[in-house]
């Protein structure tokens, strides 16, 4: 599992002209990619990392601040463009594998008390954000 975390002052996702998820206060925008061998262990690890990583202002975490999180599925995080001019997506898990794991990460964050907004899995999304810092970090599960 791979996530790109961006500390933002606000962020939103629009699908078909309609806002489907938005955070209007400082928090995290999380792009989440799933690979073939991910499972429940990776879900729990990633949700904990997103919630507890001390990357908010004053070295605080989302959990400490009660900050919101906007989670967007993004299979392209597992794109491989080392050869040729077209990336390959073979490392990205197919939708029937990745969608339940994406939903599980969102559910684990919510169960831990985090305010979670989300994109629409598999949709063509327009994501807007104001990066705070800028601050962006890439996280891979062990």
Q: What are the tens digits of pLDDT across the range 67-78? A: 999 999 999 999
Mean pLDDT of 12-24: 97
Catalytic residue among 76, 121, 135, 136: 76
The token duo for 79 is 């794109």
Query: In this predicted structure, what is the pLDDT of residue 28?
Result: 98
**Distance between CA atoms of 29 and 116, rounded to whole angstroms?**
10
Say how far apart CA 78 and CA 59 lie, in whole Å. 29
Render pLDDT for 101-139 as a digit per residue (tens, 0 to 9): 999 999 999 999 999 999 999 999 999 999 999 999 999
Give the pLDDT band (50/70/90) at residue 37.
very high
- pLDDT score recorded for residue 87: 95
Q: What is the pLDDT of residue 25?
A: 96
Is 95 in contact with 105 (CB distance < 8 Å)?
no
Measured distance between the N- and C-terminal CA atoms of the chain, rounded to whole angstroms: 9
- What is the third-level CATH fold of 2-140? 3.50.80
Q: What's the confidence (pLDDT) of residue 71? A: 98
What mean pLDDT is predicted for residues 24-47?
98
Residue ranges per domain, the chain? 2-140
pLDDT, tens digit, 9 for 90 and up, residues 50-107: 999 999 999 999 999 999 999 999 999 999 999 999 999 999 999 999 999 999 999 9
Instruction: Verify whether residue 135 is a known catalytic residue.
Output: no
Residues 6, 35, 74, 114: which is the catalytic one?
74
* 121 catalytically annotated: no
Helix 40-52 / helix 95-111 crossing angle, nearest 10 deg: 40
């Amino acid at each position: 599992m791979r996530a790109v975390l961006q500390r933002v002052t606000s962020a939103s996702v629009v699908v078909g002209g309609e806002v489907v998820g938005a955070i209007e206060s400082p928090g995290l925008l999380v792009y989440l990619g799933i690979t073939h061998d991910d499972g429940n262990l990776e879900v729990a690890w990633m949700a904990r990392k997103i919630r507890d990583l001390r990357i908010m202002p004053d070295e605080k975490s989302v959990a400490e601040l009660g900050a919101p999180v906007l989670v967007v599925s993004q299979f392209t995080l597992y794109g491989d463009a080392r050869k040729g001019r077209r990336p390959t997506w073979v490392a990205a898990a197919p939708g029937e594998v990745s969608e339940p794991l994406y939903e599980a990460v969102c559910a684990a964050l919510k169960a831990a008390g985090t305010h979670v907004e989300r994109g629409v899995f598999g949709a063509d999304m327009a994501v807007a954000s104001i990066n705070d810092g800028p601050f962006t970090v890439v996280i891979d599960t062990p």
